Amino acid sequence: TEFDHQESSVYDRTLSLNEKVESLLSRMTIDEKIGQMNQYNGFWNVTGPLPKKGNAKEKYNDLANGLVGSMLNVRGAKEVRAVQNIAVNNTRLGIPLIIGFDLIHGYQTISPIPLAEASSWDLEAIRKSAALGAKEAASAGINWTFAPMVDISRDARWGRVMEGAGEDPFLGSQISVARVLGFQGVDLSDTLTVAACAKHFAAYGFAESGRDYNTVDISDYTLHNMVLPPFKAAVKAGVKTFMNSFNELNGIPATGHTYLQRQVLKGDWGFDGFIVSDWGSVKEMVVHGYAKDLKQAAELSLNAGSDMDMESYAYVHELKSLLAEEKIKVEHIDDAVRRILKVKFELGLFDDPFRYCNEDREKRVMGSQEIVHGALDMAKKSI
């Protein structure tokens, strides 16, 4: 392995999972903790020249200084290895990145869209389809997918109906479980599986007039009996992450919704994974008129229970000053980081951060006959 950090007993394999997490957490500075809560999109060809100026240069410096916990849209074993190398060998604690990607219906080999797969009513075929997609994506260095989308929707004007299982919460719940089990397999540290992400929490599919990112105004009856069941089923199936949604729910943006995230998901349901924002949804609370600026958006989002900020730059820029002003609690930061580290340990990234970066395996798995035939079989069953 290229990974050689011996600074902490966190790498003592005799410790339990929770002991490893707590050991590492106790050694982290507040900047390093906040860094784990910061997710950046891929911003340059990692195996090419370094960014010279502007936003890309700033992001690179954050990555090299341990201020990034995750990246998305970095693809290919060679590229992932290069970016992971910066994270683990340039930083004080060498905490590996978790690499995310939207695995909606297959990776390189395309399967039917999720709505088409749902029309098969074949749960085992759907599970297998997710597993094959995970296998191909994991061979390309990815270890976390922003799927399944388990939103129930009853408005055909909402274009993202294609990502879900339709309008029925019972069928949606069954398919939610099948896809989570398919992506994650029986062993999350298996290099041909990925961590799943139930999205979008919650009520994204009930936006007024099918207008994406928009307002949702529904009763508690509809929320609990139509919207939430597939998410609850995903928790019971062991899903490792959740993504909150762009929309507001009854006047409160989901990213800043304490009831949804802290009371229902982390409280009533006992979810012990972490919640990532949707792309820029923290800063979009300003657009909703719920936060006055990025700083208040960061405050409201963390206090509500959102653990990782995807591409808003709110947490990495604002949480430290908010903590000094006592507008947020260090306990909430620790809780978020604890959840993120736990998933990284479960993926086996601390044993070997480069375990998903095998170019020979990538060539062998990508577009293999097993995956092509699986996609064809799923297509036939969907038809």
Residues with a known catalytic role? 278
No. of helices (H) and no. of strands (E), the chain: 16, 11
Cβ(255)–Cβ(244) below 8 Å: yes
CA distance 250 to 248: 6
Cβ(245)–Cβ(201) below 8 Å: yes
Q: What are phi and psi of 290, to 5 degrees?
A: -95, -30
Q: How many CB atoms lie within 10 A of CB 249?
A: 22
Burial of 304 (0-12, 13-18, 19+ CB in 10 A): buried
What are the b/e assignments for 79-112, b being 16+ CB within 10 Å?
A: bbbbbbbbbbeebebbbbbbbbbbbbbbbebebb
Closest CA to 137 of 180, 104, 97: 104
Q: What are phi and psi of 243, to 5 degrees?
A: -120, 130
